Structure 1
């Protein structure tokens, strides 16, 4: 399946990035009350279009109050190197302290973009503050779910709230993760990139 150019922006419209974007996804040991990450994928895109990735598996995740369901969905025991798996897709295996430092540096002065990025921001903030750091990304994130609803309304389509994120991204031509990619931090972050690019596609 490939992306489709479902529309063109009106003549003269353009998107100007005032700061780098970071497309983000995290896999966590629990959802509530405090998501604690064990895998993070960040794809940073500079205003000039250059991209770099940071993909981390946390060597020593906090499992003290982990949710069995959250671990099952993210396939923690199948994918985490601590349990004998190979680090997914070249992920760096870091201590939580080193991961916090790397994330703080990578996200400093950036705009977070994701599917429910406020959740990922909470997870990263917990990681940073646990190691004496604080978030330095822009406090307002871009949620592609809420961005997509008005786009569909502008096309004259019927919109049902809520609609699943997979369905919403498909409606604008960005294919969802495969079953193997879903609920992996990098697979979901790459999906976010595809979704963003479809929403902001320029005429070619």
Structure 2
């Protein structure tokens, strides 16, 4: 669908809602699944959803792979075809596609700085650098401010799921949680809830 202009919020750049599923959290999150959803005024929504064909698991965290259900979802380990909406890419092709898709955008998400670190690591593995804006939009911190402004009690930190519920957005269903596209779509709904209140 064509995305209308917001009457109050002036988007000087496209917004890219982002989520990555990674093989580890620290020291460097290495992505194996990436979902990006681009919103720009008067343009059709654009989606990008890939899995890396052969992710390096040599330093992977078992906890990370358990939470994002790597072995139950990655086609090379399940022995099944990739879902219709997911492309399998080499690491190099994924890096090039991410670099182009995110150029000039602002990343939005639940802790998007983590996802930015993961994407930057991927790009720099192949001699590329990020071209998205260095300021991201973290829906967690936006929601803290919204609740505080309404005079509601705020505890920091609070679960992102609890925060999204407090602005009337259900978190992803169990089968979609900790999947890149499921979480990216959740952040779109969360953003729309926060900005709708200002119309």
TM-score, normalisation: structure 1? 0.91
- Give the Cα–Cα distance (whole angstroms) in 2 for the partners of residues 34 and 86 of structure 1: 29
Equivalent in the alignment of 1:200: 195
Q: Which of the numbers 159, 162, 173 marks the counterpart of 2:157?
A: 162
The CA deviation at 1:80 is 0.3
Equivalent in the alignment of 1:38: 32
1:188 pairs with 2:191: no
Q: Which of the numbers 101, 109, 121 marks the counterpart of 1:126?
A: 121
TM-score, normalisation: structure 2? 0.93
1:76 pairs with 2:99: no
1:2-81 pair list within 5 angstroms? 14-81=8-75
Higher relative contact order (CA 8 A, sep 6+): 1
Q: Which of the numbers 99, 102, 116 marks the counterpart of 2:97?
A: 102
The CA deviation at 1:202 is 5.5
Contact 2:8 2:198 in 1 (8 A): no
- Give the Cα–Cα distance (whole angstroms) in 2 for the partners of residues 35 and 102 of structure 1: 19
Question: Unpaired segments of 5 or more residues in structure 2?
Answer: 1-6
The CA deviation at 1:47 is 2.4
- Give the Cα–Cα distance (whole angstroms) in 2 for the partners of residues 166 and 35 of structure 1: 21
- Give the Cα–Cα distance (whole angstroms) in 2 for the partners of residues 123 and 96 of structure 1: 13
Residue-pair matches, total: 192
- Give the Cα–Cα distance (whole angstroms) in 2 for the partners of residues 186 and 128 of structure 1: 20
1:136 pairs with 2:131: yes
Q: What RMSD over aligned residues (CA atoms) do the two structures have, in Å?
A: 1.3
Contact 1:79 1:85 in 2 (8 A): no
Between stretches 41-50 and 146-155, larger displacement belongs to 41-50
Contact 1:79 1:86 in 2 (8 A): no
Aligned CA distance change for structure 1 residues 198 and 89 (closer, same or farther; 3 Å):
farther
Question: Unpaired segments of 5 or more residues in structure 1?
Answer: 1-12
